[in-house]
Amino acid sequence: MPEKFLVTNYDHEELVSLIKEAFTEELKEILTQKEKEKDYNVLLSRREVADLLKISLVTLHKYQKEGILPYSKLGIHIYFKKGDIMKALETQVRYQHRR
C-alpha cells in the first residue's frame, strides 16, 4: 500500500515548486531511459564492435562462434545490435562476480 503523508508548513508556491521539481526529475529519468533504448537499437559493424570492446576482429569472430555475442547477417555483412552487446557485457560481468 502506498505511503500516505500529510503536507503541512508549506505555502502554495513551495508545494507547487516541490511537485514541479519531482516531476522534472522523473521526466529526466524517463527521457534518459528512452534515449538509451533508442541507442541500444543501433546496428554496429564488426569493426565498430571490435573498437568498442577494444578487441581484435579474430577475438570478435571467436565470440560470434561461441555464441557470446549475438549477431545478424544481412547478405554478406554481419551486424550487431548495440543493446545485445551491452547485455552480453552485463551477463559476463555478473558471471565473473559469481566465480
For 38-91, the pLDDT digits (tens) are 677 899 999 999 999 999 999 999 999 999 899 999 999 999 999 899 888 887
**CATH number assigned to the domain covering 42-98:** 1.10.10
Tell which phi-psi region holds residue 55, choosing left (phi > 0), alpha (psi between -120 and 50) or beta: beta
The pLDDT tens digits for 38-48 are 677 899 999 99
Q: Tell me the sheet residues that pair with 78.
A: 73
Q: What is the pTM of this model?
A: 0.57
Domain boundaries, given as residue ranges, for the chain: 10-40, 42-98
How far apart, in whole angstroms, are the C-alpha atoms of residue 83 and residue 89? 10
